[in-house]
Amino acid sequence: MQDHTVTIAPAATGQVLRFAPRFNLAMAFIDRHLAEGRGGKIAIRTATEDVSYAALAERVARAGNALLRLGIPRGARLLMAVLDGPAFFYLFWGAIKAGIVPVPLNTLLRAADYAYMIDDSACAGLAFSPELRAEIEPALALARHRPPAVLPTEGEDGSLAALMGAAPAALDPAPTGPEDDGYWLYSSGSTGRPKGAVHRQRDLLVSSQRYGVETLGAREDDVFFSAAKLFFSYGLGNALGFPLWVGGTAVLMPDRPTPESTFAAIARFRPTLFFGVPTLYARQIAEFAALRPDLGSLRYCVSAGEALPAHLLEAWRGLTGIDILDGIGSTEAAHNYISNRPGDVTPGASGRPVPGYTLKVVDETGAELPPGTPGRLLLQGGSIARCYWHNPKPTVVDGWFDTGDTFRADPDGTYTYCGRSDDMLKVGGIWCSPVEIEAALIEHPEVLEAAVVGREDADGLVKPEAWIVPRRPDQTEPDEIAAALVRHCKTRLAPYKYPRWVHLVPDLPKTATGKIQRFMLRQHPPLAAGSDFGRIGAMR
């Protein structure tokens, strides 16, 4: 087998992927297309430019050379706070080709979040979109670790664009192997501190083949448009992995997705595959009649990030005649490992296992449960991160990855999501920690105690709900403090994390040891009979 190649061979149990001993992911996703005659084909489309496969390959090489010239050593981390656009591709693939490990970061975070990741990763470089400077510069001031190389993607001397202009247009790939570190993604932990999931060179290719090709049927003539952003494992696969694996075209939009902006992009760029999250689909359905979108180019729509309620699927079908293929994945697994698929859609269920992944549902002792019984979902597959950074334990123990999700395996082979096995919330398709939201609320001078749980809105989508004990209950105007707390959270946290409901109560239910009993809060409304707490006010 030649260097940097992968072969896909049929076998009795399904297709088998075999990697060359020397394998650099950028060669399989970027340089391969020149040898296969796609140099003139458009790889990336945006509102301002199109980028061909030939131009992409050259700019990836220039970006990799620019990073090496900055003194970033092979194997070091490059944090990327970069909006969706061609520069993200140049940095991500340029770093991998140079043997540097790119770490895409959520572009909705605040300075304190970025400072933590700078310190945690001990990164050798930080690249950022100029639009994020207001959070990045304070983060650098807060962080104990100072990355040796800090550069905006464009706009001034020392930017990525300027450095690429002076860098060579050819770069030999770093001599990596398929099991070597390729990239990281940060995932929120139950304590609110993100963990760096360390992915190997092979992982993105495995998920692109198993989910993109073998599940969705992605092909070279497809145009991919993902409302989910590139920093998110779901968006990274949709817009950066799948199209470049099959030789298709990616449509990129840096702005936050709205019904208006996504419908306009579909009408303009004519994608065949659209990737959204349930929150966006709910908003699109609500505004469908007013916007009257042209969706005639779409073959399929895809949903992940959080469970898609059956009524949203049925409403979308009724309006468009197009199925939404719902699925579930994780940062650690690189993308979806359960999914509905073309011609096999079960409303309200996550679907069936993606080829190449093995699942089992177990009880608290690890014993496998019979069909129909909810339990903790364990997973095996070829794209699971090898470990968490700063955690010597692998993500897989005894051959299985514990997803932390509760599922029910139904007799027909479909899997239905029943919720997280802990208190984490998934809002707009992105995990967030109630502990983090509670900490922000408690910073407000009018708050004595706070507890945050998840609650379904009218569309069946989970949003944060806050229960507050005010410092001055006799002087508190419920509507005013509720509105003030929402404003406070919007300035302190990523935008999707603010509580949608705020309840003011005289006390929080607690155990004898003083721990908050969140399960009692989840029972509201109505309040349980005999409860020792009552609602003072609420905001919706």
pLDDT tops 60 at residue 536: no
Specify the pLDDT at position 398: 87
Specify the pLDDT at position 422: 67
Output the 3-class SS for 409-465: ECCCCCEEEEEECCCCEEECCEEECHHHHHHHHHCCCCEEEEEEEEEECCCCCEEEE
431 falls in which pLDDT band (50, 70, 90)? low
pLDDT tops 70 at residue 476: no
**Residue listed under structure tokens 């301002």:** 48
**In whole angstroms, what is the distance from residue 190 CA to residue 285 CA?**
33
Q: What value does the CA radius of gyration of the chain take, rounded to a whole number of Å?
A: 23
**In whole angstroms, what is the distance from residue 200 CA to residue 188 CA?**
20
- Structural class in CATH, domain 433-539: alpha beta
E strand map for 53-166: 77-81, 101-104, 125-128, 149-152
The model's pLDDT over 11-24, given as tens digits with 9 standing for 90+, comes to 666 788 999 999 99
Between 326-330, 426-430, 484-488, the lowest mean confidence (pLDDT) is in: 426-430
The mean pLDDT value for 49-56 works out to 98
The mean pLDDT value for 54-66 works out to 98
Specify the pLDDT at position 191: 39
146 falls in which pLDDT band (50, 70, 90)? very high
**In whole angstroms, what is the distance from residue 517 CA to residue 3 CA?**
56
Percent of the chain with pLDDT over 90: 69
pLDDT tops 80 at residue 41: yes
pLDDT tops 80 at residue 528: no
The mean pLDDT value for 380-406 works out to 89
The mean pLDDT value for 47-70 works out to 98
Q: Over the chain, what is the mean pLDDT?
A: 90
Stated pTM of the model:
0.84
Specify the pLDDT at position 535: 40
Specify the pLDDT at position 515: 58
The mean pLDDT value for 171-179 works out to 97
Locate 269 and state its tokens.
Answer: 């760029």
The mean pLDDT value for 88-101 works out to 98
The mean pLDDT value for 346-371 works out to 94
Residues 6+ apart with CB under 8 A from 470: 446, 447, 448, 476, 481, 504, 536
pLDDT tops 90 at residue 78: yes
Q: Report in angstroms the alpha-carbon separations of 446 from 231, 392, 472.
A: 35, 42, 7
460 falls in which pLDDT band (50, 70, 90)? confident
**In whole angstroms, what is the distance from residue 387 CA to residue 359 CA?**
19
Residue ranges per structural domain of the chain: 433-539
More confident residue, 98 or 309: 98
Asked if 279 and 457 touch (Cβ cutoff 8 Å), the reply is no
Asked if 402 and 376 touch (Cβ cutoff 8 Å), the reply is yes
Question: Residue 271 CA to chain centroid, in angstroms?
Answer: 21
Specify the pLDDT at position 513: 41
Most confident of 263-277, 391-405, 444-458: 263-277
526 falls in which pLDDT band (50, 70, 90)? very low
**In whole angstroms, what is the distance from residue 411 CA to residue 248 CA?**
37
Locate 93 and state its tokens.
Answer: 């693939």
Percent of the chain with pLDDT over 70: 93
Specify the pLDDT at position 248: 98
**In whole angstroms, what is the distance from residue 133 CA to residue 152 CA?**
8
The model's pLDDT over 268-310, given as tens digits with 9 standing for 90+, comes to 999 999 999 988 998 899 899 999 999 999 999 999 987 888 8
Give, to the nearest 10 degrees, the angle between helix 478-492 and helix 434-442.
Answer: 120
Residues 6+ apart with CB under 8 A from 434: 423, 424, 425, 451, 452, 453, 454, 464, 518
Q: Which residues pair with 71 in a beta bridge?
A: none
531 falls in which pLDDT band (50, 70, 90)? very low
Residue 297: CB atoms within 10 A of its CB come to 15
Asked if 30 and 56 touch (Cβ cutoff 8 Å), the reply is yes
Residue 358: CB atoms within 10 A of its CB come to 12
Among residues 297, 224, 291, which one has the least CA distance to residue 263?
A: 291
257 falls in which pLDDT band (50, 70, 90)? very high
pLDDT tops 90 at residue 538: no
405 falls in which pLDDT band (50, 70, 90)? confident
More confident residue, 123 or 434: 123
Provide the CB-side half-sphere exposure for 222 (13 A, CA).
Answer: 26
**In whole angstroms, what is the distance from residue 166 CA to residue 366 CA?**
57
